[in-house]
Structure 1
Amino acid sequence: MAQLLQLDASPRRSRSHTRTLVAEFVARWSEGRPGDRVIRRDLGHEPPPHITEDWIAAAFTPPSRRTPPMRAALAYSDQLVDELFAADVLVLGVPMYNFGVPAMLKAYIDQIVRVGRTFSFDPAAAAPYTPLTSGKRAFVIVGTGDAGYETGGPLASMNHVEPYLRTALGFIGIDDVEFVYTGNDEFGGERLQRSLERARNRVADLTGERQAAEVAG
């Protein structure tokens, strides 16, 4: 039995295309693997706190030397990291804001990219950074106002969502990441519907791929 971590970063509710597609992804996934457990975290409606000076001081103090206030400063981050380690699969719903990720998701990334927890640092080593997270797969559903931000698209150079997430997740050891795009939210009409349909087909392919792999295995 696997555990799936669902992360929704949109502040929208029923109007959110990423929330809708993530929910469809999870439903399809669960249909094929009813024994899998799903943990949901709503970053859009319950945003993580931003990093503070106290947080930084605590994170860079060896665990054995942390004071009770330092441990308290890291308690929420520890919860998120533990949740991440327990997951086998991540599914993220990410609206593109001004060509990057929403602040709520950036705050989440800042909480989980932790020295000594999700990566190690040895300044004397030839390769000083070592990821401490392994064996996980991530699926990222991105919603955009225009279209063509995916690799090879006319607006790909303006896409700072995918490169950032590939870098941040890869830094802690999550290299197996698939992206699904839906666009044309600002245009609406048939253009939006066609884009949503393509995204739904991609979701069906990805969840079907997992089911087929389970059967083959």
Structure 2
Amino acid sequence: MKYARPLPAYLTTRYRGWKATTYAEDKAWYRRLAEDGQHPRAMVISCCDSRVHVTSIFGADQGEFFIHRNIANLVPPYSPDGKNHGTSATIEYAVGTLKVAHLIVLGHSGCGGVEGCYHMCSGNAPELEDSSSFVGRWMDILRPGFELLPKGDEAMRKRALEKASVVISLENLMSFPFVKQAVEDGVLSLHGLWNDIGEGGLEAYSPDTQGFVAV
């Protein structure tokens, strides 16, 4: 593949620093992880947004979380006849092979994907309506959430759509037969979270109130 290039110098420098400090100080732990394989207790489905640092939020170490990231932390409905279902394949592996006990959907404030969906559904992003738009077709998963948004100012409605992305993903997770079975058998629990990046806040979805409450 002739287009691949060497790493930028700043990344090479950072890697060497990590290898000489963090890795060197805990070499036995890394080797144990390599030899014993992974046994994460939880899977996290989060947004690709570079500001969402899942392991930092929970103070997690290597081997604790099985993490899948995509635009707007969305889970598509179960569709075995579809193609290239990266998210669905990751869920299947986490639940069926790794036997995770918890499956967490983590949304966040200022989500660009959610904002794109908002503008697309409002008729203000025709480029996303084009059939060739990967982002637009992915955000179609969230379109039902837009149609149920309450009245209010744009900022409030966008935040509501961010949280709807979490709830819709939880509902879609239950359309997967193996997820539904694991939940009903009591070996898997689903959790919906929303992170306020600027304030460092974390809210969890409560089925009792059908809303989000501070953690």
TM-score bracket for the superposition, by shorter chain length: 0.3 to 0.5
TM-score (norm 1): 0.35
Larger-gyration structure (1/2): 2
